[in-house]
Chain A
């Protein structure tokens, strides 16, 4: 790591190429894209490192729980709509397509 992004000298040595290909306007555009992706990945993995931010376990546990509850809520709502649709189809002489469960 160097100045918030990946160390180019180290990277060039690692893949056996010159540093030049990483400079804007010099190398292959695909290489630039790869570089950008690497940098982003690096940033993410650093921020999720246990040492990065002070871990707030209680908080993240609550977050997960909240997310799960929200998802369950929307699944139940959808099931309710699906049941209503089925009831309407029964009354309208339509086709009921519920899966055998």
Chain B
């Protein structure tokens, strides 16, 4: 074992960490690798360790580490890097002075720094910096001790550091600290092991851990409100504890996780804000006048008469419009556009789900549509915001969109679920019971009268089996499989992931291998367009991926705030959300044409259609949430 001072630590996305360190004996610089979760003490820059190394195929590995105190053998490196304290910047003259000191003086200074007694520093550094150095050094010591403690509870170093940075000095001090650390930063595997071992947590905390993770899992399936009788057995006590700590809320017979309640209440507050201010309405005559003027200007032969629908949309603060087909959405939007402008209202702002959908709605408007998370901050007073494809939004997306809408705006939401063969539950259903609903009848073009089935896909209608997927995958590696059966999606994803390839991305819960196709979605409050890509390699800069022929690097920060899942196969909605270009469809015999139509409307090319005879278990999953619509208007 040799003594090293660590200069830099980088945790890569594949669960490998790299450190650069200085051998304190001969001053040589070494670069070592290790698995991030291999040690139970934090390896931090600016600290000294006894390290044992071993040469392996990928370079020199770190095999054992022991902590030891700082000593003056690395004095030059310490002073050069400002003692590895982020907010300290020593002046060059001070650095020169520090390096010119003899060994005894260095010893004395280092000892006084460690003991937080900066008397002997006062001759070396000017005053404010001297105190700042002491404070920063002590903070670094405290951070190290806390992170070490958290790691002893089983968290890997990266998560332990995040936990300390989030909870601060309370991270280990509280009686419930371990529970909090596990729930906020532990992987589900770690939580399972904490639950199964009898000693690590006391019984009441174990119950709470179990209950809260159960709530979270239910919430991911859309069920966020639970009746007390539906709770898992013997969880009454845990519920009491969680409610006392304000982690869950109980109202009468129903209970809910605090985070779910906060999101739903936030949406309700936003909707209340939208309906609180003054809102101008127009008489039907005014709208009719505008509409007829518009019709004359456009003078198109095949435009559908949406006059009544437009009167409703213009005179309501928020309306939900259901449409069977995208052309009628476009038609309605451009009519609304024209009529509103003839009524001297500002031109509506069209909002789409993602940038990849912009070309679909290009024809509807003259001004530029934006993704829902990029609403311009300078929307006009009494503007109109039209959000298309609301059925793709999650409640969190919806909240982000609502926050960008000024209080005086008129909001039109489009629900395109009728175009889908099945009608999944969505929070829009709740809005529909409160706000006016407009149903758009399909524009009666002559074209739509022709029966939908096209000759091409029906020609070779094959039963699907996994070998088909493998063949497609081998012949052209660019195809994404889309299916309406969750079990088929899981099977294909499992089958096409190469078990033997090296792990390139290691997330909290799963690992992804070289050449895996992944679907990346925003998980946090910061929203961006979801996308599908194929992972190639990993470096300290991030993940090197290929998406639609273009190569790019995903930064660790982006991956950190993303939800990553395998993307060989996915549901049709997911493919639309992620902006897929071409897919292979696997659907039931009854709904395959509807799915082809649905995907085509979003400009997704369907390369091949297979049928499957999987039983569709539980068509619509019940979702539950608080009332979203305003209580008082």
Task: Spell out A's residues near B (CB within 8 Å).
Answer: 44, 47, 53, 59, 62-63, 66-67, 70-71, 74-75, 78-79, 81-82, 85, 87-100
Contacts and interface: CB of A to CB of B under 8 A. Distances in A.
A70 B142 CA distance: 14
Closest 8 CB pairs of A and B: A78-B168, A88-B524, A96-B259, A91-B396, A100-B246, A91-B525, A70-B135, A85-B166
B119 interface: yes
Contacts of B136: 70
A98 B119 contact: no
A99 B246 contact: yes
Given A59-B127, A87-B525, A97 B184 contact: yes
14 contacts: A59-B127, A66-B128, A66-B131, A87-B525, A89-B259, A90-B259, A90-B525, A91-B400, A91-B524, A93-B219, A93-B260, A95-B183, A96-B257, A96-B258
Contacts, number: 93
B247 A81 contact: no
Given A66-B128, A82-B168, A90-B259, A95 B212 contact: yes
Contacts of A93: 216, 219-220, 224, 259-260, 263, 396
B135 A96 contact: no
B139 interface: yes
A85 B523 contact: no
Contacts of B434: none
A46 B525 CA distance: 56
B180 interface: yes
Nearest to B400: A91
Contact of A78 (B165, B183, B257, B525): B165
Contacts of A97: 180, 183-184, 245, 247
A78 B180 CA distance: 16
A91 B263 contact: yes
Nearest to B164: A78
A71 B259 contact: no
Given A93-B220, A95-B216, A98-B246, A66 B561 contact: no
B523 A91 contact: yes
B190 to A, nearest CB: 15
Interface of B: 117, 119, 127-128, 131-132, 134-136, 139, 165-168, 180, 183-184, 212, 215-216, 219-220, 224, 245-247, 257-260, 262-263, 266, 396, 399-400, 523-525, 561, 563
A98 B224 CA distance: 19
A71 B135 contact: yes
B532 to A, nearest CB: 20
Contacts of B259: 89-90, 93-96
Contacts of B184: 85, 89, 94-95, 97
A98 B262 CA distance: 12
Secondary structure call for the B interface: helix
Nearest to A86: B259
Contact of A44 (B117, B212, B220): B117
Contacts of B167: 78, 82
Nearest to B527: A91
Contacts of A92: 396, 523-524, 563
A74 B183 contact: no
Given A59-B127, A93-B260, 5 more contacts: A53-B119, A62-B128, A90-B396, A96-B258, A97-B245
A70 B132 contact: yes
A96 B262 contact: yes
A23 to B, nearest CB: 24
Contacts of B212: 95
A47 B119 contact: yes
B165 to A, nearest CB: 6
Nearest to B244: A100
A56 to B, nearest CB: 10
A67 B245 contact: no
Contacts of B262: 90, 96
A53 B215 CA distance: 63
A88 B524 CA distance: 5
Q: Which of A70, A82, A85, A95 has the most CB of B within 10 A?
A: A95
Contacts of A81: 165-166
A99 B180 CA distance: 11
Nearest to B118: A63
B523 to A, nearest CB: 5
A60 B214 CA distance: 54
Choose among A63, A70, A85, A92 the residue with the greatest number of B CB atoms under 10 Å from its CB. A92
Nearest to B168: A78
Q: Which of A92, A97, A100 counts the most B-chain CB atoms under 10 A from its CB?
A: A97
B525 A88 contact: yes
A97 B184 CA distance: 8
Contacts of A78: 165-168
Contact of B216 (A66, A90, A94): A94
Contacts of A67: 131, 134-135
Nearest to A67: B135
A47 B215 CA distance: 59
Contacts of B258: 95-96
Contacts of B127: 59, 62-63
B209 to A, nearest CB: 10
A26 B128 CA distance: 47
Given A82-B166, A89-B184, A95 B128 contact: no
